[in-house]
């Protein structure tokens, strides 16, 4: 007996089927036909589509990886390689990455790369990839291979896709074409540069007590009076307030915060006061301008102005920078002018300006017909004081290293992207324009040596602020001539005005070179100014990466105390993160202090930026790599 | 009557068979669909997890940092844990190229996960009801690219011109002395 199933599926002979059975048989045939010829193909088609989409997606990722690798290889240092060699490396790197990847489990085989502006159509076998590379400029427009100005790499890959059902329906390979473009976005960068007093604490100096010994001007270096400024002054915490060039603030030698025993003669009461020179009271006035505590009316007296120099062994009248850079001065000759600085005496007199003319030299040294034996043969010379201070500024550490770091990083960034830069220098506060000076703020001084030694003269110590300018043109051409270029990184309006701190400097590079250390460290003011500029649509570009380059040597101590100041900085760093601004903090401190390291690292971390310790060339390279490689992105 | 009752029974039997066959067919189809969907979802999940792990590891500059970044990226892809196990980064096959000589240092990540297939469970009636799938991606270790530019030394002295030197301005009156004189720049 047949089951109902058998009756359904076994087609009965014609004429023996009931009408209902015929309908049922037809229905089941349709049912299976539907299943076999519609649902199955539909399922297969769905799978085929999914497979194609997956293959396209995987190929896109593989090509993105190749484009990123190729673009990263386009980054280069100034004039290090020819453009053609760099481009060859980029393509090689892209191919290597592509060949290591897979699509649907099959390793890709790159059969070569063309450099056509329009990717050609290939006939590819399954799994093969044909790559086409196009180099683009900052506007993403194609440029010819070997041409300068490459800012990105556009890759087009054509892949031979073999459909799963291809063999059954006689379908060959289908092409999948995807495109990926890597590049470095334009960068809007504000350089926050610390010029607080501790920024020259790593300088090797000599402190000197200059006095008249009854026969000639004598020079006495106090015990432990030479070496690293930090070690000479011995501050208990943080850095010193004493500086190696003006404003020297020599009174701060005897600050209660220091553990050293030295003191500035003119910050003491009489009779030690007056050791540097007698400027008050009755004649006789000193010769020179003024020369020191020499009493021409009684030249044989060792008790000038009622004071015996021998009884004040820790008194300091002068602080000079060891122009040879060593902790103990051994002599130095300026290579460009030939001026000789064979001894500490020359340093002291050159810094005072006494070697500029014969008259000032004769008067200040109370010279008769016989010159002191230590006097160099190149004296007098009108350049002595300038050469001394120019060299002293170059040796003021870590300030000088920070200057070089800032300029080098800006130059390297500009080489590889379209850079717009601003400058915010800070100490107790920040400036307001490129010509701002430190002495114009509340509590600031303009005295070059010390407020207790007015005859030491005055100075306008630069605290420039160069605002970011969204409309500033590409500056890459100007940078190629560094360091001789005068208009480097300079907003056109400022260049035309000819302004600038420190004597009319007219570029950021030159403004940086003029900076001297003084005052406290108000990091938060600089960060807030930088954030304001980087979020101001009139000052920044909407498509640019926003970066703050913070170069500092330690913890802030303004406004308020160090704790309040640090909290302000953390708040600013969090605000920067919210605005998509990364802070790259470069720590140039000369000492290893976990407090300031932790502070700068925290600021960088809170902003999702980077912290780099040190200012050596190798450490700067790490900073640069972190900035640049993290910016390499797909467009 | 019997003929009528027999026809009715036959119809009932045929309906029952219809239902049984239909249910069986539907069950098979449903199981196949569920398995297919699970497989596709599982594949897509580890594919995405592997990509993210590769991307994250590619931004690191050391093996340990790359591994940590890869693990973190992988763990961010949550699954139900039963049908689809949590994607795992295969640490034994993790590669982070340290060779700086290459223009293309890379990081290689492999992720895997287990997909439990209900059809296998029903058919085999055992715990061998899951399949393991793996996915591998290679990504450039961007931070190790050899060609990354380095800073070139600049001579600061060339930027310090005569106008940029901080020198004291002492010409004029010296307070407290009582008379004035011009001292040029000397002290």
Residue A18 tokens read as 């009931």
Structure token pair of residue B134:
């793996």
Contacts with B, A 531-590, CB within 8 Å: none
> Would you say residue B186 has pLDDT above 50?
no
Among the listed residues A234, A175, A205, the one whose alpha carbon sits nearest the alpha carbon of residue A56: A175
Q: What pLDDT sits at residue A493? A: 36
Residue A391: both structure tokens together: 């060299």
* CA triple B127-B132-B133, angle to 5 deg: 160
Residue A299: pLDDT band by 50, 70, 90 thresholds?
low
CA distance A514 to A535: 28
CA distance A301 to chain B (A): 22
Residues A521, A551: contact at Cβ < 8 Å?
no
Q: For the residues B65-86, what does the mean pLDDT come to?
A: 90
Which of B166, B185, B187 has its CB closest to that of A516? Answer: B166
A132: left (phi over 0), alpha (psi -120 to 50) or beta: beta
Report cis status (omega within 30 of 0) of the bond before B166: no
pLDDT surpasses 50 at A477: no
Averaged pLDDT, A475-479: 37
> Which residues of chain A are within 8 Å of residue B51 when distances are taken between CB atoms?
61
Alpha carbons A352 and A72: distance in angstroms, whole number: 53
The 8-class DSSP code of residue A38 comes to: I
CA distance A138 to B54: 28
Interface with B, mutate which of A23, A65, A286 (most B CBs under 10 A): A65
A23-53 pLDDT tens trace:
767 777 777 777 777 778 888 888 899 999 9
pLDDT digits (tens, 9 = 90+) for A205-229: 999 988 877 677 888 898 888 999 9
A39 DSSP 8-state letter: I
**Nearest CB partner across the interface for A279, out of B47, B145, B174:** B174
Q: Phi-psi category of A105—alpha, beta or left, where left has phi over 0 and alpha has psi -120 to 50? A: left
Confidence of residue A329 (pLDDT cuts 50, 70, 90): very high
DSSP state of A267: G
pLDDT confidence of residue B70: 93
| Position A412 pLDDT exceeds 90 | no
Nearest-CA residue of chain A relative to B183?
A289
Burial degree of A115 (CB within 10 A; 0-12, 13-18, 19+): middle
* Residue A366: alpha-carbon gap to chain centroid: 49
Compute the average pLDDT of residues A84-107: 88
Cβ contact B148–A89 (<8 Å): no
- pLDDT recorded at residue A549: 93
Q: Are A244 and A198 in contact (CB under 8 A)?
A: no
* φ, ψ at B95 (rounded to 5°): -125, 130
Q: What is the pLDDT of residue B172?
A: 45
Angle at A82 between CA A76 and CA A83, to 5 degrees: 70
Q: Which of A19-33, A430-444, A553-567 has the lowest mean pLDDT?
A: A19-33
CA A526/CA B186 separation, integer angstroms: 37
Q: Is B106 helix (H, G, I), strand (E, B) or coil?
A: strand
B118 in reach of chain A (CB within 8 A): no
* Cβ pair B58, B140 in contact under 8 A: yes
Contacts of A101 (CB under 8 A, 6+ apart): A58, A61, A62, A65, A66, A107, A108, B137, B138
Q: For chain A, say whether B104 makes contact (Cβ under 8 Å).
A: yes
pLDDT digits (tens, 9 = 90+) for A235-293: 877 788 899 998 899 998 888 888 888 989 888 876 677 777 655 443 333 433 334 55
Residue B140 falls in which region: left (phi positive, over 0), alpha (psi -120 to 50) or beta: beta
What's chain A's average pLDDT?
79
**At A79, is the secondary structure helix, strand, or coil?**
coil
| Cα–Cα dist A320/A502, whole Å | 21
Cβ–Cβ < 8 Å for A611, A424: no
How does DSSP classify residue A258? B
Q: What angle do CA B153, B155, B159 make, to 5 degrees?
A: 135
* Helix, coil or strand: residue B74: helix
Picking from B43, B57, B140 by the largest number of A CB atoms within 10 A of its own CB, the best residue to mutate is: B140
Residue with tokens 């340290």: B98
Q: CB contact, 8 Å: B148 with chain A?
A: yes
Residues 190-249 of A with CB under 8 A from B: 245-246
With tokens 């051994």, the residue in question is: A330
Mean pLDDT computed over every residue of chain B: 77
Looking from the CA of A501 toward its CB, the CA atoms found within 13 Å total: 30
- A394 contacts B143? CB cut-off 8 A: no
- Of the pLDDT bands very low, low, confident and very high (cuts 50, 70, 90), residue B170 is low
C-beta separation of A256 from A293 below 8 A: no
Closest residue, chain A, to B41 (C-alpha):
A50
- Name chain B contacts of A92, Cβ cutoff 8 Å: 103-104
* Residue A560 binned pLDDT confidence (cut-offs 50, 70, 90): confident
- pLDDT the model gives residue A327: 92
Helix (H, G, I), strand (E, B) or coil at A485: coil
Confidence of residue A328 (pLDDT cuts 50, 70, 90): very high
Query: What does the block give as tokens for A225?
Result: 């009076």
Entry pTM: 0.74
| Count of all residues that appear for chain A in the document | 635
* Residue B8 contacts A where some CB pair is shorter than 8 Å: no
User: Residue B142, SS3?
Assistant: helix
């Amino acid at each position: 007996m047949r089951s109902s199933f058998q009756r359904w599926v076994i087609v009965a002979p014609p004429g023996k089927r009931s009408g209902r059975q015929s309908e049922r048989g037809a229905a089941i045939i349709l049912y299976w036909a539907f299943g076999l010829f519609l649902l199955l193909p539909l399922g297969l088609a769905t799978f085929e589509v999914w497979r194609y989409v997956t293959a396209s997606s995987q190929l896109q990722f593989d090509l993105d990886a190749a484009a990123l690798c190729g673009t990263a290889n386009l980054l280069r240092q100034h004039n290090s390689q020819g453009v053609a060699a760099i481009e060859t490396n980029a393509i090689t790197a892209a191919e290597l990455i592509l060949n290591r990847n897979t699509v649907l489990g099959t390793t890709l085989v790159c059969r070569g790369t063309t450099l056509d502006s329009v990717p050609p159509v290939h006939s590819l076998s399954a799994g093969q990839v044909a790559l086409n590379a196009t180099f683009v400029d900052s506007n993403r427009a194609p440029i010819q291979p070997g041409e300068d100005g490459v800012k990105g790499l556009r890759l087009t890959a054509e892949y031979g896709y073999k459909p799963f059902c291809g063999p059954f329906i006689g379908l060959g390979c289908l092409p999948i074409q995807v495109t990926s473009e890597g590049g470095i976005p334009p960068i809007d960068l504000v350089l926050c540069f610390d010029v607080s007093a501790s920024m020259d604490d790593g300088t090797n100096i000599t402190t000197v007590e200059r006095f008249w010994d009854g026969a000639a001007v004598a020079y006495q270096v106090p015990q432990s009076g030479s070496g690293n400024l930090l070690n000479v002054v011995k501050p208990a915490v943080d850095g010193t307030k004493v500086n190696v060039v003006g404003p020297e603030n020599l009174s701060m030698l005897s600050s209660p915060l220091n553990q050293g025993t030295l003191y500035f003669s003119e910050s003491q009461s009489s009779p030690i006061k007056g050791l540097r020179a007698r400027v008050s009271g009755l004649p006789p006035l000193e010769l020179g301008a003024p020369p020191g505590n020499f009493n021409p009316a009684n030249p044989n007296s060792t008790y000038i102005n009622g004071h015996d120099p021998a009884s004040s062994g820790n008194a300091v009248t002068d602080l000079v920078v060891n122009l040879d850079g060593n902790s103990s001065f051994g002599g130095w000759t300026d290579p460009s002018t030939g001026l000789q600085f064979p001894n500490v005496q020359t340093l002291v007199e050159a810094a005072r300006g006494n070697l500029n003319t014969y008259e000032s030299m004769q008067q200040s040294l109370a010279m008769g017909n016989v010159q002191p034996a230590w006097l160099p043969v190149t004296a007098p010379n009108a350049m002595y004081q300038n050469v001394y201070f120019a060299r002293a500024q170059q040796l003021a550490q870590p300030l000088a290293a920070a200057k070089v770091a800032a300029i080098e990083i800006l130059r390297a960034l500009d080489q590889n992207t379209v850079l717009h830069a601003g400058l915010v220098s800070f100490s107790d506060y920040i400036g307001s324009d490129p010509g701002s000076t430190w002495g114009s703020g509340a509590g600031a001084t303009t005295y070059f040596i010390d407020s207790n030694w007015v005859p030491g003269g005055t100075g306008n110590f630069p605290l420039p602020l160069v605002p970011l300018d969204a409309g500033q043109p590409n500056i890459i051409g100007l940078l190629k001539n560094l360091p001789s270029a005068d208009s480097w990184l300079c907003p056109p309006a400022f260049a035309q005005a000819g302004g600038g701190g420190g004597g009319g400097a007219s570029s950021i590079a030159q403004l940086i070179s003029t900076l001297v250390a003084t005052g406290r460290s108000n990091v938060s003011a600089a960060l807030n100014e930088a954030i304001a500029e980087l979020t101001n649509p009139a000052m920044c570009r909407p498509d640019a990466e926003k970066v703050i380059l913070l170069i500092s040597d330690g913890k802030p101590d303004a406004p308020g105390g160090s704790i309040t100041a640090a909290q302000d900085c953390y708040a600013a760093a969090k605000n920067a993160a919210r605005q998509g601004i990364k802070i790259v903090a470069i720590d140039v401190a000369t000492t290893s202090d976990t407090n300031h390291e932790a502070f700068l690292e925290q600021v960088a971390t809170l902003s999702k930026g980077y912290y780099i310790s040190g200012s050596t060339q190798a450490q700067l390279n790490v900073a640069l790599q972190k900035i640049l490689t993290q910016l390499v992105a797909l467009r | 009557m019997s003929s009528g009752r027999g026809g009715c029974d036959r119809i009932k039997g045929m309906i029952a068979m219809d239902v049984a066959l239909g249910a069986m067919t539907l069950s098979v189809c449903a199981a196949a669909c569920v398995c297919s969907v699970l497989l596709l979802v599982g594949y897509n999940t580890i594919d995405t997890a592997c990509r993210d792990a590769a991307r994250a590891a590619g931004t690191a500059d050391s093996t340990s940092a790359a591994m940590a970044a890869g693990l973190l990226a992988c763990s961010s892809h949550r699954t139900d844990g039963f049908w689809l196990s949590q994607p795992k980064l295969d640490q034994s096959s993790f590669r982070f190229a340290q060779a700086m000589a290459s223009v293309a240092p890379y990081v290689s990540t492999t992720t895997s996960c287990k997909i439990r297939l209900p059809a296998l469970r029903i058919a085999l009636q055992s715990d061998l009801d899951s399949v393991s799938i793996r996915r591998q991606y290679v990504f450039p270790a961007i931070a190790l690219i050899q060609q990354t530019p380095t800073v070139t030394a600049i001579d600061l002295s060339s930027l310090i011109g005569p106008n940029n030197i901080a020198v004291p301005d002492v010409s004029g009156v010296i307070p407290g002395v009582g008379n004035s004189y011009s001292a040029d720049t000397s002290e």
